[in-house]
Amino acid sequence: MKFSNFLFPESRDPAGDGRVIDETLREAKLSDELGFDAIWLAEHHFDGICAYVDPVSFAAALSTVTERARIGFAVAQMSLHHPIRMAEQLGLIDNISKGRLIVGLGRGTAYNIYDYQGYGIDHNEAQARFEEAEAIMFKAWSGEPLEHHGRFWHLKLPMLRPRPFTQPHPYVIRSASTEEGMLTIARQGRPFMMNVQSNEVTRARMALYRQTLRQIGLDDAAVADRVDQCWVWRNVFVADTDAQAERIALPAFAAMHAQRSAMREQVYREQGVSIVPMPPPGSAPAARMVVDHSLIYGSPATVAERLADVAKIGVGGVILQFRLGPMSFDDVTQSLTLFMREVAPNFSAPAAATDERLRRWRAS
């Protein structure tokens, strides 16, 4: 099972944005040095819940300060991007990083309507824009002249340059927040990223994913390969003792979710608009907000035990968010270091298996 660090740094005060961005660069370098398989970047706008805002620009920066870890998006909100501009940028980053780029794509946020308002995009068009944009990027990366006339874009260009380092195109993976979204990806025979879910839901979806891959004709080896490329998301905090981890992680986790909801609720109060209906008082919270489902915390032994439950489900890797809300940078770096030194070795693959896994990733 692969381990990765999801850089999702909160900045509550605009005056502190620069400091948090600098700390996040340092966190990325440390993650690379410690041996994480990948570093993931988010995309959110206007509210400070993701200080660097733009994963494309930040990925370019990370490609120059890291050497080994893959750099991915979890995810780029494709409905907010022009597909040709995006294809050019990703081709450049893939060259700078020498093929370490993971193009994680999604339609766009399902919660923060102000992301769409700020870009002048109708959130009801998000999925259609995503589908058309992804198809355009694949055509653009082919190296052939492109002419496209669709619902949102009318384009004509002789050739996209630079050509990506990875041929025929950078590695692309989609996210799925619902079972139906996962099934759509599975029917295409593609791997996917799952948002925070309970272990029970994760187990059920992965079983259904395997079943669907077999139904479209993939053999056992191909199914195992696709599963090895799938990722699930959990938050994590490691300390010397369970008590210390609880004291630091639980308040930070609660504050993180309060901050992520604040702007959404403010816009609803002021404008009366939201993408999905606002939950009524007393309704059950989503899995991402429930500690038992979303947050793995404790001593190295406790964290390893809980991650073993995820490993038993059978997933390729875990997208781990270490920096939770207002958590201090020192606490984050200590947690990262403890994780890679005392937790990750419990899940180490033999060197030959690791080499084969990397070969398949590069080939895909």
Condensed to tens digits (0 to 9), the pLDDT of residues 203-221 reads 999 999 999 999 999 999 9
pLDDT of residue 281: 82
Euclidean distance between CA atoms 284 and 256, whole angstroms: 18
pLDDT bin (cut points 50, 70, 90) of residue 350 is: very low
In 57-214, the DSSP E strands lie at: 70-73, 76-77, 101-106, 146-149, 154-157, 171-176, 192-194
Domains of the chain by residue range: 2-363
Euclidean distance between CA atoms 37 and 70, whole angstroms: 6
The CATH number fitting domain 2-363, selected from 3.30.1330.10, 3.20.20.30, 3.40.50.980, 3.30.70.240: 3.20.20.30
Mean pLDDT of the region 265-277: 95
pLDDT of residue 349: 60
Nearest to 233 by CA among 39, 38, 6: 6
Tens-digit pLDDT profile for residues 235-264: 999 999 999 999 999 999 999 999 999 999
Euclidean distance between CA atoms 63 and 70, whole angstroms: 9
Percentage of the chain lying above the pLDDT 70 cut: 96
For the record, the structure tokens of 280 come out as 């009524």
Per-chain mean pLDDT for the chain:
95
Tens-digit pLDDT profile for residues 28-87: 999 999 999 999 999 999 999 999 999 999 999 999 999 999 999 999 999 999 999 999
Q: Record the pTM.
A: 0.94
pLDDT of residue 362: 46
Tens-digit pLDDT profile for residues 272-320: 999 998 888 888 899 999 999 999 999 999 999 999 999 999 999 999 9
pLDDT of residue 356: 52
pLDDT of residue 287: 93
Contact in structure between 13 and 330 (CB atoms under 8 Å): no
pLDDT bin (cut points 50, 70, 90) of residue 360 is: low
Report whether pLDDT(171) > 60.
Answer: yes
Report whether pLDDT(361) > 90.
Answer: no
Percentage of the chain lying above the pLDDT 90 cut: 93
Report whether pLDDT(89) > 50.
Answer: yes
pLDDT of residue 363: 54
Contact in structure between 152 and 169 (CB atoms under 8 Å): no
- Angstrom distances, CA of residue 28 to CA of 341, 356, 364: 17, 25, 25
Q: What are phi and psi of 42, to 5 degrees?
A: -105, 175
